[in-house]
Amino acid sequence: MATGDRRPVLEARGIVHAYSGKPALDGVDFCLRAGEVHALMGQNGAGKSTLIKVLTGVEPLQTGSIILDGAAIRPASTLDAQQSGISTVYQEVNLCPNLSVAENIFAGRQPRKPWARGGGIDWKQLNARALELLARLDVDIDVRRELGGYSVALQQMVAIARAIDISAKVLILDEPTSSLDSGEVAQLFQALRKLRDRGTAILFVTHFLDQVYEICERITVLRNGKLVGEYPASELDHAALVSAMVGRAVSNDFTPAARVAAESSQTPAVLSARGVQRQGGVSRVNLEIRPGEILGFAGLLGSGRTEVARLLCGLDSPDDGEIRLKGVAVTMHEPAAAIAQGVSFCPEERKTEGIVDQLSIRDNIVLSLQARLGLWRKLSPQHRREITDRLAKQLDVRAASLDMPIGELSGGNQQKCLIARALAIEPCLVVLDEPTRGIDVAGKQEIMSLLIKLAAEGMAVVFISAEVEELLRVSSRIVVMRDREQVGELPGGCSEDQVYALIAAPAASAPAGNAA
Amino acid sequence: MKSLFRHSLAWPAVTLILLLGLNAVMNPGFLALAWRDGHLYGSLVDILNRAAPLALVSAGMTLVIAARGLDISVGAVVAISAAVAAVIIGPTGNLGFAIAGALGVALLCGIWNGALVVGVGMQPIIATLILMVAGRGVAQLITGGQILTVYYAPYDFIGNGYLLGLPFAALLAGAVIVLLHVLLSVTPLGLFIRAIGINPVASRIAGVRAQPITLCLYAFGGLMAGLAGLIISSNVKSADANNAGQLLELDAILAVTLGGTALTGGKFSLAGTVLGALIIQTLTSTIYSLGVPPEVNLVFKAALIFLVMLLQSPDFRATFKRLPVRPPGAEKTS
Amino acid sequence: MNAAPVAHGNVTRRSLTILGLDRRLVPLAGTLALFVAMIIFGAMSYKAFLAPQVFLNLVIDNAFLLIVAVGMTFVILTGGIDLSVGSLLALTTMVVAALIEKAHWNPWLVMLLVLAGGTAFGAVQGFLVHRYRLQPFIVTLAGMFVARGLCYLIDTESIPVSNPLLQQLAYARIPLGGRVAISSGAIIAIVTVAVATWLAHATRFGRTVYAIGGSAKSAALMGLPVGGTLVRVYAFSGFCAALAGLVMTVYMLSGYSLHAVGLELDAIAAVVIGGTLLTGGVGYVAGTVVGVLILGIIQTLVIFNGTLSSWWTRIVVGILLFVFCVSQKLIEKRASRASAPSSEKSK
């Protein structure tokens, strides 16, 4: 399909953007043409969301230019961008669930009756126009019903209908498929194709590689705030796409032998999961984690790594399947239950799920331990000091004083405190979700050395990271996730190529999962 | 300026001292203390005595607010507790039974509130609104719509008696608050409450069981209101279902706020709350001594609320910090 | 390409209806059922209960509550609350009585003045809520103190009203045929209800109110004027409180600082019993009318009974509040299970 000769609708040239001095985008060029679906791809921190924020007026344009239909624009707000013709539909539908479908489409722009007839909102015309608009997307629902009663997929459609009614020029879809099942995705794509055929330029952001190939004609890849390139989808296969995203060569041919799990060990598992799944989370996870082992989780952002961790640590309850701790089946509806069993979790979202920011570093470190001890066994001041001093030293937490609020620490030091909190309960299994994210090189090295030391002492460790190189350095085994499924397992000594090959493998040739 | 802001007790303490100073200037006898009939007399003692019920209720409210809650039913619970005590003591004359009954019913009220918040998952203001509306009706039901007068010397002692020369009510409130303080320091309860109030999600992930703790806090709030009900009814020798504890919930919230506890939860100060309660009582006394109609007190309280909440609002402070350069998109509500 | 429609009603995942009703109508249906049940109970117990004048008296005696509750409905629809209305009402009665009786101002001018004043009072509260993101509860609580305190500053005693115009308004009864008649206050209440219904359902302002209650964040992202609407909602509530104050001055023929103590609670109760969700976004002005009538009927039933004491009114109102709040919560839980995580509220 020759799309290169189509008319450019939206162009961004030399976009440079920094958040309080830290560069997020560094001279990115981007071009969206009429009647195409264009994928924007990149790892975490590549600059995708910053680019979208600049294009849609959420972030003010700092350097560079945005050209819409040949004229330079500077959208000052989302409303401003919308009025000039750039609409965005987010993963989390930004509509009002309590209003009717039709109202959501026309909120703020409701057709009104002439003053002679009262000047009120013309509900008949409103509903008729909504019906007509949705019909253009092949959706036929009762537009007078409240939006919240419909599925997320239909809500997305309504959001799209609202967007194209304002302007059908440019439509940006930011991870619209994250919470949709496959049928709903098909429905969405059908609507997108119709829009594309009518000339709308669609920018599609997703983590699902297969979907990119299903709907997109061209792919723009960002990495570390820089443009890697723009490619026709037909000329960039899975492996090439992944290697463009991660910045290293990935070979497409992996040897199935490499995926044989190294499960010869006879020690009983600390934790085993059989067929554990959760709707909207992950499907059918099978795992065994032994003492002294570091189990790595590899996969792209959104592949389901965090979801598995949440199931293992009692943050979410599985819909199905069985989790055994030291051979005993357990149900953990609360993180407190997992902690009581010696399973501790170190979350990826430091600010919102990890630190309790106005509390002191010491309080943050002992929080889990104290919660496990309960209300009547308070740590004595000396004991508390000993524990926190020891852990802070062990993890090399750098702070003027351990009594200062944790919120005043740097991200890396906050992370170390959270690991300290997880270790304070002397767990048998510790699950670390992206513990090295946003930390400098030396800090990463320290954390990884620590993991190896912990495992050597007999602890079981689950280590989740987007950096395959890190995983390989410390993991005894590596579980690979893709599109919310466990797609395979590799032994510790494997090569990066093997991991990436499994991460990038198209669905058709994906192995059916771990044999165990 | 900044260092003054730093210590959480600085502001309420300065406010209280200024108020007391104002009184001392206008009424030279204000600070005087005298020893008569084996009791300590003076305006300061009077303020301590009268602030006791408010301090108790505010102490309970402090913990509820610290854990991101709110209890607007305390005034009604005061009325219920007073009614129960009066009804039991009238015919039986059994003081212990009356106290146990009143406190028991108040505790049940608190548990009811907590169950609605924790069990049913209602917003705290709505959950406690129910008891606020129905509570006074229940109190009237108990008293039969009468203002029950209680002439029973031992009961009278709770609100009007003196122990070691000091008013018993003030001693009682002081003892309860000190006990609470001890409880908060020998158990990790304070840590848990702060953690729940600051970041409920992170606290849950860290293994803090918020639900039973929150339930206990509401129960404790109810108990404190019950105790306040005993003191108030004993003080005026009657149980008035309509007026006992009227607007007490608002005074308690004000005392908590004045004491430096954030209404959004997290940081709290029991000592600050006690200062807050004393400020409110001193303000009331001041207005009495100024000869202004006492009801105008409300306007002063309102002014205090506006001041404190604006100072606590990050958006308000931001207005003054970056008044010259305000980026156009910054006012977006997100 | 297959152009067949893909999503008929039956395909919609767990599309939420209860007994075939749209979820938004369920609370209102409950309210209506309760109202009808109470009328039937009343009619079966007391012969005089079904007299038309009994029903008109419900409106006449609760006209001020009805007006206040209508304003409160808008505030609660945005997810807020207004505790200042009772005090503002009392302040209005005081200002009217003082200016007309003591300062001998023109009554019409005074009425315009207090309406403007009430509106401004509410607008300031709305501004504080919106601009500094203060909690509506605490802002209007302070507003309540201010208004009540100002009352006492004017006078701590009741000021009787003897102005001929107000007297005339007070005793005027507009016959409705048969032997029933209605008061001026009731007419004002009915007009207020009509205007408010139109505002809520036929104007962009009204629909924005609902949108804010559904999700303030989404409303802002949809480009709706969230801030301006919030200010106007509190201003409208202030206006209603002032209007109710006028009605009460005429009804009582006095201005008094202790008028309408606790009225805000009755208004909130009426709104909730009328089927409006306290979390915002769902509810109808018509429901509030029924809610006020239910409160009135409870009172009437207690009076008709003769042996029941007045405090039963409060207890029954409390029980109704409990039942309605718990069932709202249950409906909400069903809805959040059924629909997307996107329907989560941003607070």
Q: Which is more confident, C75 or A111? A: C75
Task: Tell me, yes or no, if B119 comes closer than 8 A to chain C by beta carbon.
Answer: no
Residue A281 has pLDDT above 80, yes or no: no
Q: Is the pLDDT of residue A91 over 90?
A: no
Residue A203: its pLDDT value, please? Answer: 93
Using an 8 Å CB-CB cutoff, list chain A residues near B267. Answer: 358
| Residues 6 or more apart in contact with residue B324 via CB below 8 angstroms | none
Nearest C-alpha in B relative to C279: B123
Question: Between residues 136 and 195 of chain B, which touch chain C (CB distance below 8 Å)?
Answer: 136-138, 140-141, 144-145
Mean pLDDT score, A369-391: 90
C213 interface with B at CB cutoff 8 Å: no
Indicate if the pLDDT at residue A508 is higher than 50: no
For tokens 């001279």, the residue is A27
From B141's Cα to the closest Cα of chain C, the distance in A is 7
CB contact under 8 A, C8 and A140: yes
- State the virtual CA torsion across B127, B133, B139, B144 in degrees, nearest 10: -150
Whether residue B191 is predicted with pLDDT greater than 80 in this model: the reply is yes
Q: Does A337 touch chain C (CB under 8 A)?
A: no
Predicted local distance difference test score (pLDDT) of residue A376: 85
Q: Which of these, C216, C270, C264, lies nearest to C81 by C-alpha position?
A: C264
Q: Does B299 touch chain C (CB under 8 A)?
A: yes
Q: According to the model, what pLDDT value does residue C22 have?
A: 66
* A425-484 residues touching B, CB cutoff 8 A: 425
Mean pLDDT of chain C: 85
Between chains, do B267 and A357 touch, taking CB under 8 Å as contact?
no
CB C132 within 8 A of CB B313: yes
Best-predicted range by mean pLDDT (A449-463, B255-269, C185-199): C185-199
pLDDT tens track for A394-435: 888 888 889 999 988 877 788 889 999 999 999 999 999 988
Residue A399 structure tokens:
């702070």
Distances from the Cα of A457 to the Cα of A294, A297, A368, angstroms: 12, 21, 21
A181 burial class (0-12, 13-18, 19+ CB within 10 angstroms)? Answer: middle
pLDDT digits (tens, 9 = 90+) for A293-313: 899 998 877 788 888 999 989
**Whether residue B215 has pLDDT greater than 90:** yes
Quick check: B231 pLDDT over 80? yes
Report the alpha-carbon distance of residue A102 to residue A124 in Å, rounded: 10
Closest partner residue to C137 among B116, B125, B140, by Cβ?
Answer: B125
Residues of C in contact with B70 (CB under 8 A): 137
| Residue C203, pLDDT above cutoff 60 | yes
Q: Does A359 touch chain B (CB under 8 A)?
A: yes
Confidence bin at B140 (pLDDT 50/70/90): confident
Residues A281, B124: Cα–Cα separation, whole Å:
31
Please give the pLDDT value at position C2.
Answer: 40
Both structure tokens of A161: 């209908």
Please tell me the distance from the alpha carbon of residue A317 to that of residue A319, in angstroms, as a whole number. 7
Q: Please report the pLDDT score of residue A321 as a whole number.
A: 87
Percent of chain A scored above 90 by pLDDT?
23
Partners of residue B214 in chain A, C-beta under 8 Å: none
Chain C residues 295-334 with a CB less than 8 Å from chain A: none
Q: Contact A379/B188, CB-based, under 8 Å?
A: yes
Which 3 state secondary structure label does DSSP give A174? strand
Judge whether C340 is closer than 8 Å to chain A, CB to CB. Answer: yes
* pLDDT band, residue B3 (cuts 50/70/90): low
Residue C44's pLDDT band, with cuts at 50, 70 and 90, is confident
Q: Cβ contact (<8 Å) for B187 and A421?
A: no
Is any Cβ of chain A less than 8 angstroms from the Cβ of B237? no
CB C190 within 8 A of CB C256: no
Chain B residues within an 8 Å CB radius of C152:
293, 295-296, 298
**Closest chain B C-alpha to C179 CA, distance in angstroms:** 36
Q: pLDDT at residue A215 above 60?
A: yes
Q: With an 8 Å Cβ cutoff, are B138 and C315 in contact?
A: yes
The pair of three-digit structure tokens given for residue A439, joined into one six-digit string: 């930390």
> How far is it, in rounded angstroms, from Cα A444 to Cα A437?
8
Q: What is the per-residue pLDDT for C321?
A: 86
Using alpha carbons, select from A432, A437, A423, A463 the residue that is nearest to residue A293: A463
Does A148 lie at the interface with C, CB-CB under 8 angstroms? yes
User: Which chain A residues are closer than 8 Å to B195 by Cβ?
Assistant: 356, 359, 363, 367
Backbone conformation region of residue B307, classed left if phi is above 0, alpha if psi is from -120 to 50, else beta: alpha
Closest CA to B41 of B158, B166, B173: B166
Closest B-chain CA to A363? B191
For chain C, percent of residues with pLDDT exceeding 70 = 89
- The CA distance from C242 to C249, in Å, is 10
Q: Name the band, by pLDDT with cuts 50, 70 and 90, for residue A40.
A: very high
C251 inside 8 A of chain A by CB: no
Distance of residue B330 Cα from the nearest chain A Cα, in angstroms: 10
Q: What's residue A253's pLDDT?
A: 43
Produce one character per residue of C163-177: b if its CB has 16 or more CB atoms within 10 Å, e if not: beebeebbeeeeeee
CA of B200 vs chain A CAs: smallest distance (Å)? 9
Q: Among B127, B250, B298, whose Cβ lies nearest the Cβ of C149?
A: B298
Q: Do C143 and B302 touch (CB under 8 A)?
A: yes
The span from the CA of A39 to the CA of A513, in Å, is: 28
Render the burial of A80-112: b for 16+ CB within 10 Å, e for the rest: bbbebbbbbbbbbbbbbbbbbbbbbbbbbebeb
**Cβ–Cβ contact B37 with C under 8 A:** no
Contact B298 C146 (CB under 8 A): yes
C258 close to A (CB below 8 A): no
What's the average model confidence in pLDDT over C196-217? 93
What would the DSSP string read from start to end of A9-44?
EEEEEEEEEEETTEEEEEEEEEEEETT-EEEEE--T
Cβ–Cβ contact B316 with C under 8 A: yes
Distance from CA of B108 to the nearest CA of A (A): 22
Subunits touching B (CB < 8 Å, at least 3 pairs)?
Answer: A, C
How much is the pLDDT for B203?
A: 93
Task: Read off the pLDDT of each residue in B184-196 and give the average, rounded to a whole number.
Answer: 92
* Confidence (pLDDT) at C67: 97
B313 — contact with chain A (CB < 8 Å)? no
CB contact under 8 A, C227 and B297: no
- Interface contact A118, partner C, CB < 8 A: yes
Q: What is the pTM of this model?
A: 0.82
Do B333 and C81 count as a contact with CB atoms less than 8 A apart? Answer: no
Q: Which of A40-44, A509-513, B59-63, B142-146 has the lowest mean pLDDT?
A: A509-513
Q: How far is B9 from chain A (nearest CA, A)?
A: 17
At C337, the pLDDT band (50, 70, 90 cuts) reads low
In this structure, which long-range contacts are made by residues C111-115, counting pairs with CB atoms below 8 Å and at least 24 apart in sequence?
C111/C246, C114/C242, C114/C245, C114/C246, C115/C239, C115/C242, C115/C243, C115/C246
Shortest distance, CA A77 to any CA of chain B (angstroms): 7
Question: Cβ B195–A368 below 8 Å, yes or no?
Answer: no
What's the mean pLDDT when you consider all of chain B?
A: 84
Q: Give strand pairing partners of A8.
A: A33
Query: What mean pLDDT comes out for the span A364-379?
Result: 90
Q: Determine which of A336-340, B246-250, C145-149 has the lowest per-residue pLDDT on average.
A: B246-250
Tokens of B237: 């020798």
